[in-house]
Amino acid sequence: MATSLDFITFVAEQVSGAGDDIRYRKMFGEYMLYCEGRPVFLICDDTVYVKQIPETMRVFADHGITPDAGIPYDGARPHWILDIENRVLATDMARMLARVLPVPKPKKRRV
């Protein structure tokens, strides 16, 4: 089951307070949500995933949440599953990830 366009627009609306530049991009039938140019959420099968890094655990802990782990697609590393219904948590997570994650390197153009 692929992620629906309705779901990805809902996710973008939920974190609209995290920054001025909230975008999403379709990738391999699923989506990546970007905040301030950084890839913050992976959305697969209408589920929002975040990287398992110390900073994400701190945000979950600050909200008193123990996250569930999941595998977004075959061959992927485990990620934390984010409760996108919790707008404050989702916004805090997007804002924090936009601060700590690197901006993707531009792809070289083929000649």
Q: Quick: pLDDT tens for 19-38.
A: 889 999 998 779 999 999 99
Across 31-53, average pLDDT: 95
Segment 55-99, tens digit of pLDDT: 999 999 999 999 999 999 999 999 999 999 999 999 999 999 999
- What b/e readout covers 10-29, taking b as 16+ CB neighbours within 10 angstroms? ebbebbeebbeebebeeeee
pLDDT for 1 beyond 70? no
| Residue 42 pLDDT level (bands cut at 50, 70, 90) | very high
Cβ contact 78:52 at 8 Å: yes
pLDDT at 108: 81
Residue spans of the domains in the chain: they are 5-100
* Strand, helix or coil for residue 103: coil
Which of 1.10.3470, 1.20.272, 3.90.1150, 1.10.540 is the CATH number of 5-100? 3.90.1150
